[in-house]
């Protein structure tokens, strides 16, 4: 962490200060993960369909926090850190597109959850083809409210985002436009794939509407 030694000291003081600062974010992570798993079980018990395929996530390291302050042009101070809403972030991978909306509805109705902002890149994908449903919310942890970023997406959306993220850094200037176009075309194929898999699910589960929480 040599690169940010001075910033680290200015922001957190020392290792203990940093550890104590991140503790509520770590607790928020565990609370959110349990909440999402609980919702998955609840939906499954009522509707014979579990929407969640898997959950991944992390609490940012001090290095990636400071990195993001520089990248986003925020003040490199504790004030800047407190502006970040994704220090605690979870990615929820769902099976079908409808699952994203079912889970979102169940999640934002949970006691204690307060939504700060939502971005629906599923119905309104980014120009590069990125699709995902983002929710920034806060939950109570002890006597403070902690922000958490939840990204909800299908397996196909997750595949595209993971590979795009990787390829982006290998994207040299000469081929930039061609690669961006091909990545966009891949995202279009995955839209069709998501639609086809969901159609199959609905055909094989005639009562699928009853499986949904609406
Ligand atoms: P890192 O390194 O992943 O932490 P806003 O409402 O505009 O403030 P928004 O639109 O919900 O915020 O999200 P934003 O800031 O565009 O992106 C938030 C995160 O979504 C990103 O984190 C990525 O993880 C993911 N994401 C957004 N756009 C893309 C994309 O085009 N490709 C991929 N692969 N991922 C994307 P960060 O901020 O990059 O930081």
Task: Point out the ligand 1 atom lying closest to the alpha carbon of residue 161.
Answer: 34
Find the largest Cα–Cα distance for the chain.
61
Residue 149 among the catalytic residues: yes
Please name the helix (run of DSSP H) or strand (run of DSSP E) that holds residue 58, with its range, or none. strand 52-59
Catalytic residue selected from 149, 164, 198, 206: 149
- Beta-carbon contacts of residue 9 (< 8 Å; ≥ 6 apart): none
**Rounded Cα–Cα distance for residues 150 and 160 (Å):** 18
Residue pLDDT, tens place only, 92-133:
999 999 999 999 999 999 999 999 999 999 999 999 999 999
Round to whole Å and give the CA distance between 206 and 96: 16
Please give the chain's pLDDT, 214 residues, in tens. Answer: 678 999 999 999 999 999 999 999 999 999 999 999 999 999 999 888 999 999 999 999 999 999 999 999 999 999 999 999 999 999 999 999 999 999 999 999 999 999 999 999 999 999 999 999 999 999 999 999 999 999 999 999 999 999 998 887 767 777 888 889 999 999 999 999 999 999 999 999 876 666 554 4
Ligand 1 neighbours, Cβ below 6 Å, are 86, 117, 119, 126, 128, 130, 134, 161, 164-165
How far is Cα of residue 204 from the mean position of the Cα atoms in its chain?
Answer: 30
Q: How far is CA 178 from the centre of its chain?
A: 28
Q: What's the gap in Å between 130 CA and the centre of ligand 1? A: 9
Give the distance (Å) from ligand 1 centre to CA of residue 196: 27
Residue 17, number of CB atoms within 10 A of its CB? 14
Evaluate whether 32 touches 88 at the Cβ level (below 8 Å): yes
Q: Tell me phi and psi for residue 2, to 5 degrees.
A: -40, -45
- Asked whether the beta carbons of 100 and 122 are under 8 A apart, the reply is yes
CA of 132 to the centre of ligand 1 (A): 10
Element (H, E) at 106: helix 97-108
Atom of ligand 1 nearest to the CA of 151: 20
Asked if 171 and 73 touch (Cβ cutoff 8 Å), the reply is: no
Q: How far is CA 129 from the centre of its chain?
A: 16
> DSSP labels for 84-149?
-S-SEEEEEEESSHHHHHHHHHHHHTSTT-EEEEEEETTTS--TT----EEEEEEEEETTEEEEEE
């Amino acid at each position: 962490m040599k690169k940010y030694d001075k910033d680290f000291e200015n922001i957190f003081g020392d290792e203990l200060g940093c550890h104590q600062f991140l503790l509520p974010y770590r607790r928020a992570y565990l609370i959110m993960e349990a909440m999402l798993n609980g919702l998955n079980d609840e939906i499954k018990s009522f509707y014979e369909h579990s929407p969640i395929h898997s959950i991944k996530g992390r609490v940012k390291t001090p290095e990636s926090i400071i990195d993001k302050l520089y990248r986003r042009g925020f003040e490199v101070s504790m004030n800047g850190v407190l502006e970040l809403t994704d220090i605690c972030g979870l990615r929820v991978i769902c099976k079908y597109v409808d699952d994203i909306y079912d889970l979102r509805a169940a999640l934002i109705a949970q006691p204690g959850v307060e939504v700060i902002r939502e971005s629906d890149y599923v119905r309104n994908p980014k120009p590069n083809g990125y699709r995902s449903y983002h929710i920034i919310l806060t939950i109570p942890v002890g006597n403070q409210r902690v922000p958490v970023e939840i990204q909800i997406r299908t397996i196909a959306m997750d595949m595209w985002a993971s590979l795009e993220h990787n390829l982006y850094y290998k994207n040299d200037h000469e081929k930039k436009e061609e690669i961006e176009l091909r990545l966009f075309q891949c995202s279009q194929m995955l839209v069709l794939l998501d639609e086809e898999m969901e159609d199959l699910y609905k055909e094989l589960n005639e009562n699928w509407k009853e499986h949904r929480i609406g």
